[in-house]
Homo-oligomer: A and B are copies of this chain.
Amino acid sequence: MAEKKTIEETDELTLQFDSNGLLPVIAQDADTGQVLMTAYMNKEALAQTIETGFATYFSRSRKKLWKKGEKSGHFQRVKQILVDCDQDCLLLKVSVDAGQCHAGYQSCFYRELDKTNPQKLNLIAKKTFNPEETYGK
């Protein structure tokens, strides 16, 4: 418990990366409060994010760093980085333009579970850009 308490109460960054050296990260619009996406960071991605001021993640599928927006132009300017109690998750407050999700929406969370039939998804947003134009087919 003593160790746990230290992580929760310390003013020293002591991130708890998982066995793959990764941490989940939430990106939230600093102005509107909208949750935009989640992704992962390793130590290097975080260092690059801090150094450049632009959110840089680690792609688990491509196994490399990616600066968010490097293809789409939809960058994330980092305003604030928060860490959670257990220091195993980060929350980035970011400034963004229109269109953060690679599917063409402002947020990756563009569908809700239907309240009467939760197997069904309701679209709750409109696309803000055409992903085929942005990324090619």
Interface residues of chain A, those whose CB is within 8 Å of chain B, are 8-13, 24, 26, 28, 32-35, 37-38, 50, 80-86, 89, 91, 101-103, 105, 108-113, 118-124
Copies in the complex: 2
List B contacts of A110 (CB < 8 A).
Answer: 82, 85
List B contacts of A11 (CB < 8 A).
Answer: 111, 120-123
A103 to B81, CA, bound (A): 19
Q: In whole Å, how far is A38's beta carbon from the nearest beta carbon of chain B?
A: 5
Find out whether the CB atom of A85 lies under 8 angstroms from the CB atom of B103: yes
Q: In whole Å, how far is A15's beta carbon from the nearest beta carbon of chain B?
A: 10
Find out whether the CB atom of B89 lies under 8 angstroms from the CB atom of A38: yes
Q: Contacts A118-B13, A121-B11, A121-B12 given; indicate if A37 touches B84 (C-beta within 8 A).
A: yes
Select from chain B the residue with minimum beta-carbon distance to A121: B11
Residue in B12, B28, B32, B108 whose beta carbon sits within 8 Å of that of A35 in the complex: B28
